Amino acid sequence: MSGIVIKNLNVWFDGAEERVNAVKNTNLKIVQGESFGLVGESGSGKSTILRALTGLIPTWSGEMNVTGERLGRHRTRQFYKKVQMVFQDPYAALHPRHSVDQLLSETLRLHGFSNVDRRIEKLLDNVGLGPTFRFRYPHQLSGGQRQRVAIARALAPEPEILLLDEPTSALDVSVQAEILNLLDDLRRAHKLTYLMVSHDLAVVGHMCKRIAVMQMGEIVEIMTIEQMRDLNPQHPYSRHLLESSLGYKRQKEQVPQKP
């Protein structure tokens, strides 16, 4: 069964002088339980697709379906029970004056859950945070801990789909792998579907089975991770992305270490 189906999606922004077409004639089909990646350079339209799906951008045409529900101009409460989003900056995504307890309890009550105390304890446990974190505030947490709280909040409504917008790019390199492994474990445990945006090919290589390469608002190629690892893309832009990524890694490897 399909988790997300997008047909002929166009997204635009009305500027003062002219319309900016951010996404053009995009088609995607992501099956339930799949982890799918959107990659491309900054400004290619990756995050715009996520924001159109969640209703944050009203100027779009085409067709979007989520678990069989065709999306209109307004998102229903049922949609937000099925679909949640994890943003790039965990500090900006959390209310600075709300404790972890407040953030999670408000989300749970909004979606009509009872046994809030028990559910908060379970959510914190699921993301690797103990009960001592429950009454802390965002400024008392590290970047990785904040992102774990953001993930716990996204899991609170018991969604089927998580939209991940560069979920590790604002974190230290040493913490990125921990969060990626956590997300991978959660997807398997809760049978979640992921649509992940990233500019980092190593991240999508770790998390996803298939990826779509975007350039200037268009998907130029959809390939498997095996094709990516075998350096066997079909489109020149995909090849450029791979070569750029490999060249950057080689340069880092060639930098002499301090004695």
DSSP string, 151-169: HHHHHTT--SEEEEESTTT
Q: For the residues of 15-40, what is the DSSP string, one character each? A: -SSSEEEEEEEEEEEEETT-EEEEE-
What is the second-level CATH architecture of the domain 2-93+161-250? 3-Layer(aba) Sandwich (3.40)
| pLDDT for the residue 247 | 58
Domain boundaries along the sequence of the chain: 2-93+161-250
Over residues 80-139, the pLDDT tens digits come to 999 999 998 888 889 999 999 999 999 999 999 999 999 999 999 999 998 999 999 999
| Residue scoring higher pLDDT (244 or 31) | 31
pLDDT tens sequence across 143-154: 999 999 999 999
How many Cβ atoms sit within 10 Å of the Cβ of residue 80? 17
Residue in the block written with tokens 């190629």: 221
Count the alpha carbons within 13 Å of 164 in the hemisphere toward its beta carbon. Answer: 33
Residues forming beta bridges with residue 4, ordered by sequence position: 30, 66
Backbone angles phi, psi at 160, to 5 degrees: -100, -25
The C-alpha angle 100, 106, 109, rounded to 5 degrees, equals: 135
Question: What is the model's pLDDT at position 232?
Answer: 86
